[in-house]
Chains A and B, each alone.
Chain A
Amino acid sequence: MIRVEGLTYTYPFAGQPALRDVSLTVAAGEFVAIVGANDSGKSTLCYALTGYIPHHFHGAMLGSVQIAGMDSRSTPLAELVTVAGLVFQNPVNQISGARFTVYEEVAFGLENLGAPRAEMAARIDEALALVGLEGVADRSPYALSGGQQQRLALASILTMAPQVLVLDEPTAQLDPLGSRDLFAAIHRLSRRGATIIMAEHKLEWIARFADRVIALAGGQVVLDGAPREVLASPLLEQHAIGRTRFTQVAARARALGLTSSDALLPVTLEEAVDFFRPILPKAINA
């Protein structure tokens, strides 16, 4: 669905590239999480995967990006957005300012696509329910909390049902269970066939829901693989990405000699339970 080859991108007036020689492919229906420290290139990659680079940001781009067979450089952005939708990091950037209520705001993108009216209402209701905003449909987008605005930005894109959904830290301002629910909703979309690429810091939910994790550092891909392989790697510490507390405490227990297991370190609660259970004395009444 997406093919990136030798992508190097430098923003105007920037001293060094934000992305360096990135090559990757994403298959249709995959749920890929992008992790990386601040300024590692996550947002830049999100822009490049949706055509905002090179169409909206004018820097120097080398290499190529294919989105559903379309070359991002030679295809107009208006055409690319019908296939690949981007949910921006700062939701305020995405609010149109042209609509008075949350409901109308969610309808805005659909109207622009010229969706049939009968179908619109159903799609809007579904998107609002998916992000948990049914209760505030009549409020002004500007009267929402930061977390609610972030849900609104996502709902607006969801109504357009893009084949490829690229999300730049969509849960940054969400409460913990809201984050989990959003990951679960995105996961359901991917199981229905949508291709998902999501830059995120919340490693616990990435570990549970993503199919694959790509780690960026200094604009380069440093790890790319299954969640447990990538998220348990000590390289994540080195690149300031951090690891879950499950992984950290397991690594420390091993360093203290509390377990001699050389299994992969755990990254989810379930894996951590499996990691520690064998070394604990059989509880009489566990």
Chain B
Amino acid sequence: MNIAVSDLHFTFASGVAALCGVTLRIDSGERVAIMGRNGSGKSTLVRHFNGLLRPTRGVVTIGDWATHEHSVAQLARRVGYVFQNPDEQICKRRVWDEVAFGAINLGFRGARLHKQVDWALARLGLGSYAGVNPYDLSPSWRRRVAIASVLAMDTEILVLDEPTTGQDARFLAQFGGLLDELRVLGKSVIVVSHDIDFVAEHFARVIVLDEGRILLDGAPEQIFRASEALEMAALQPPQLTRLAQALSLSHCVHTEEEFLRALQTRLAGA
């Protein structure tokens, strides 16, 4: 299912213009990271994908639905949305019920519901916490619950607003594995993130926003070479890209494998 955004403008009631003419298309099954400085419009943009915000001007369509013609409840069938702050979405007293909540709202029942919920719990390492009250968990574990509850809704499109913020290496490894699995399942995944090293390793496309407009949109190897534009957006290239550049090894290395390959090639040529 495609997302099409056409000349999207959004102005808050306070008069602050957050998006000023964004046009983009995200195809079915794409993995897209949205980056940019604080206040650049990242969250505002993705909140249009599930109808939490409606365009001031322009159109957002999810498949054949224009978001302004459908309710948030309808759009929830197509787009799962994980909030930046998990406490904005948690409402139940047991982790299992919380993770099942969205799926039940979508009409899932019985064996299908159990299968989806248990799968989502397992994917987030929550299997042994099913009976716990989400509020007895620490914030980092509540974030896992929030992700699992959206995962259980089995939507074609998943949007996660800063899922990696404040998370440790164990979570990042697990979440990276989940992204790989979602790719195999053909889901579209859109993530807002500041963690460019993580993005470099897991995303095939990066969109950089600046002051409510698209500054860069392309494959990581193209984006990470545009160091001046990145600087404008308060970003800097991934650690390994910078290291490979400083060593004159390569201009577009961004994973450990690529770095080691470039290093070995250079050593073999000596």
- Which A residues are closer than 8 A to B by beta carbons? 36-39, 89-90, 92, 136, 139-140, 143-148, 151, 169, 172-180, 201, 204, 237, 240-242, 244-246, 248-249, 252-253, 256, 258, 269, 272-273, 276-277, 279-281, 283, 286
- Contact between B38 and A201, CB atoms less than 8 A apart: no
Residues in B neighbouring A145, C-beta threshold 8 A: 38-39, 43
CB of B194 to closest CB in A, whole Å:
5
Given A201-B166, A244-B239, the answer on whether A147 and B38 have CB atoms closer than 8 Å is yes
> In whole angstroms, what is the CA distance A246 to B256 when docked?
9
Selected contact of A273 from candidates B84, B167, B246, CB within 8 Å: B246
Write the nearest CB–CB distance from A88 to chain B, whole angstroms: 12
- Contact across chains for A281 and B260 when beta carbons are under 8 A apart: no
Q: Are A249 and B36 in contact (CB under 8 A)?
A: no
**Nearest Cβ in chain B — how far from A91, in angstroms?**
10
Interface pair A178/B38, CB less than 8 Å apart: yes
A171–chain B nearest beta-carbon distance, Å:
9
Chain B residues within an 8 Å CB radius of A237 = 169
User: Does B12 lie at the interface of the complex (its beta carbon under 8 Å from any beta carbon of A)?
Assistant: yes
4 other contacts beyond A38-B170, A175-B234, with CB at 8 A cut-off? A38-B140, A172-B166, A175-B194, A279-B267
Q: Please count how many residues in chain B sit with their CB below 8 Å of the partner chain's CB atoms.
A: 50
Pick the contact of A258: B171, B238, B267 (CB < 8 A).
B267
Residue contact B248 to A286, C-beta cutoff 8 Å: yes
Residues of B within 8 A of A147 (CB): 37-39
Q: Is the CB of B14 within 8 A of A143?
A: yes
Say yes or no: is B30 at the interface (Cβ < 8 Å to chain A). Answer: no
The 5 nearest A-B residue pairs measured at CB: A147-B38, A242-B169, A38-B140, A281-B270, A240-B170
Across the interface, which residues of A come within 8 angstroms of B38, CB to CB?
A: 145-148, 151, 173-175, 178
B170 touches A37 (CB 8 A): yes
Contact B256 A269, beta carbon cutoff 8 Å: no
- The CA of A286 and the CA of B256, in the complex, are separated in Å by 22
Q: B138's contact among A38, A146, A245, by CB below 8 Å, is which? A: A38
Residues of B within 8 A of A286 (CB): 248
Q: Are A37 and B168 in contact (CB under 8 A)?
A: yes
- B contact residues around A143 at 8 Å (CB): 12, 14, 16
Contact yes or no, A281 B269, CB < 8 A: yes
Complex alpha-carbon distance, A148 and B40, angstroms: 11
> B267 — which chain A residues lie within 8 A by C-beta?
258, 279-281
* Complex-state Cα separation, A151 to B138, whole angstroms: 23
CB of A94, distance to nearest CB on chain B (Å): 14
Offer 7 A-B interface pairs, CB within 8 angstroms, sorted by A: A38-B141, A38-B171, A180-B236, A245-B238, A249-B240, A269-B243, A276-B247
The B216-270 residues at the A interface (CB cut-off 8 A) are 231, 233-236, 238-240, 242-243, 246-249, 256, 259-260, 263-264, 266-267, 269-270
Whether a CB of chain A sits under 8 angstroms from the CB of B197 is yes
Q: Let me know if A176 and B167 touch, CB within 8 A.
A: no
Chain A residues, Cβ within 8 Å of B154? none
B interface residues, Cβ below 8 angstroms from A: 12, 14, 16, 36-40, 43, 84-85, 138-141, 162, 165-172, 194, 196-197, 231, 233-236, 238-240, 242-243, 246-249, 256, 259-260, 263-264, 266-267, 269-270
Question: Which of A90, A140, A276 is B14 in contact with, Cβ under 8 Å?
Answer: A140
Contact A37 B243 (CB under 8 A): no
A146 surroundings in chain B (CB, below 8 A): 38, 43, 84-85, 162
Residues of B within 8 A of A39 (CB): 138, 140-141
CA–CA, A176 to B197, complex, Å?
11
B52 to chain A minimum Cβ distance, whole angstroms, is: 15
Q: A252 touches which one: B194, B249, B260 (CB < 8 A)?
A: B260
Closest to B259 in A: A249
**Which of the residues B84, B243, B260 comes within 8 Å of A272, measured between beta carbons?**
B243
Select from chain B the residue with minimum beta-carbon distance to A181: B234
Provided the pairs A39-B138, A147-B38 are in contact, do residues A177 and B231 lie with their beta carbons within 8 angstroms? yes
CB-based nearest B residue for A177: B234
What CA separation (Å) do A273 and B240 show in the bound complex? 11
Are the C-beta atoms of B171 and A139 separated by less than 8 Å? no
Q: Chain A residues near B233 (CB, 8 Å)? A: 175
Select one of A174, A176, A248 contacting B196, CB under 8 A: A176
Q: How far is the CB of A39 from chain B (nearest CB, A)?
A: 5
Please measure, in the bound complex, the distance between the C-alpha atom of A146 and the C-alpha atom of B86, giving whole angstroms: 13
A280 to B265, CA, bound (A): 11
Which of A151, A258, A269, A276 is most buried by chain B, counting CB atoms within 10 A of its CB? A276
Residues of B within 8 A of A179 (CB): 194
- Nearest-neighbour CB distance to chain A for B135, whole angstroms, equals 12
Whether B256 contacts A249 by the Cβ 8 Å rule is yes
Inter-chain CA distance A71–B249, complex, in Å, is 55
Residues in B with CB closer than 8 Å to A174 are: 38, 194
